[in-house]
């Protein structure tokens, strides 16, 4: 299969349990919960996305004809040294494109593979770290994994506290609340802190790359 990649770059993982870890980010083009066009945002299932995932025109992006070519490009970004090789598959929605060939090609090059997914498609079983971020109004089929990362608050038709309680029945190792980044970011951060104070299994995840001026 060929792969449509918006961009690929080397940075630190900004979010979640692995925040601060050196990582190649592979951002796939396309998502099943929003077209990525501003004129469609208000009618999309997921309306708060902070990411441009349309097309293949970003740094390190393109159409990759096969998994080996894509994995070679990822390794070139990582550079020399086998220690700590780590790649985050994101998007857009990566599970629209991740397949056996890509997982095998990345593992063959020594990468541990993480994914950031909305959970509406089953996660590939060969992944080393599965982060699921549920979106109100979508059906989450992937209810197990390493970390559940809930963007909070989700106003309007977003998740309620009853939805949070439902999620607490799912099978994750780590439970993270990430403040919604929008014009009310300061209020959202307070609401996220409040949720953690009320429900101690949850921990705060900050999008540290945004504070650090990283991608």
Ligand X SMILES: Nc1nc2[nH]cc(C(=O)O)c2c(=O)[nH]1
CA atoms within 13 A on the CB side of 29: 18
Tell me: is residue 131 an annotated ligand-binding position: no
Q: Cα–chain-centroid distance for residue 161?
A: 22
- Which residue among the candidates 15, 18, 28, 31 is catalytic per the annotation? 31
Q: Which of 51, 112, 126, 199 binds ligand X (CB under 6 A)?
A: 51
- One-character DSSP codes across 149-191: EEEE---TTS--HHHHHHHTTSEEEEEEEEE--STTHHHHHHH
Distances in whole angstroms, Cα of residue 22 to Cα of each of 19, 58, 166:
9, 20, 33
Could you tell me the two tokens for 185?
């970011």
- Which residue among the candidates 72, 107, 163, 209 is catalytic per the annotation? 209
Residue 53, strand partner residues: none
From residue 90 to residue 109, the character string flagging contacts with ligand SAM as x (rule: CB under 6 A) and all else as - is: xx-x----------------
Polymer length of the chain: 215
Q: In this chain, which stretch among 11-19, 64-72, 73-81, 119-127 interacts with ligand X, using CB under 6 A?
A: 11-19
- Residue 60 is given by DSSP the state T
Tell me: is residue 90 an annotated ligand-binding position: yes
| Residue 143 engages ligand X in binding (rule: CB under 6 A) | no
Tell me: is residue 26 an annotated ligand-binding position: no
Residue 111 among the catalytic residues:
no
Which of 214, 192, 190 has the alpha carbon at shortest distance from 203? 192
Q: Pick one of ligand SAM, ligand SF4, ligand X, none as the site partner of residue 34 (Cβ within 5 to 8 A by kind).
A: ligand SF4
Is the Cα dihedral 25, 20, 108, 101 positive or negative?
negative
Site for ligand SF4 in 51-110 (CB under 6 A): 51, 53, 91-93
Query: Using CA atoms, how far apart are residues 131 and 21, in angstroms rounded to an integer?
Result: 15
Specify whether the CB–CB gap between 214 and 13 falls below 8 A: no
| Residue 204 engages ligand X in binding (rule: CB under 6 A) | no
From residue 134 to residue 173, the character string flagging contacts with ligand SAM as x (rule: CB under 6 A) and all else as - is: ---------------x-x----------------------
| Residue 177 engages ligand SAM in binding (rule: CB under 6 A) | no
| Residue 116 engages ligand SAM in binding (rule: CB under 6 A) | yes
Q: Pick one of ligand X, ligand SAM, ligand SF4, none as the site partner of residue 149 (Cβ within 5 to 8 A by kind).
A: ligand SAM
Residues that bind ligand X (CB under 6 A): 11-15, 25, 51, 90, 116, 209, 214-215
Active site residues: 25, 31, 46, 49-51, 116, 209
């Amino acid at each position: 299969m060929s792969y449509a990649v918006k961009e690929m770059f080397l940075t630190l993982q900004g979010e979640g349990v692995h925040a601060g870890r050196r990582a190649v980010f592979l951002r796939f083009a396309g998502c099943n919960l929003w077209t990525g066009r501003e004129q469609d945002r208000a009618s999309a299932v997921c309306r708060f996305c902070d990411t441009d995932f349309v097309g293949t025109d970003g740094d390190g992006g393109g159409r990759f004809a096969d998994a080996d070519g894509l994995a070679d490009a990822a390794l070139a970004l990582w550079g020399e040294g086998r220690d700590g090789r780590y790649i985050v598959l994101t998007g857009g929605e990566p599970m629209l494109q991740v397949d056996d060939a890509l997982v095998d090609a990345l593992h063959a090059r020594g990468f541990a593979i993480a994914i950031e997914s909305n959970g509406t498609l089953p996660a590939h079983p060969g992944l080393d770290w599965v982060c699921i971020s549920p979106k109100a109004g979508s059906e989450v089929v992937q209810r197990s994994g390493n970390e559940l990362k809930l963007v909070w608050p989700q106003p309007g038709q977003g998740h309620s506290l009853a939805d949070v309680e439902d999620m607490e029945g799912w099978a994750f190792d780590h439970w993270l609340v990430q403040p919604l980044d929008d014009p009310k970011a300061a209020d959202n951060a307070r609401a996220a802190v409040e949720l953690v104070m009320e429900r101690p299994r949850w921990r705060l995840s900050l999008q540290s790359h945004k504070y650090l001026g990283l991608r």
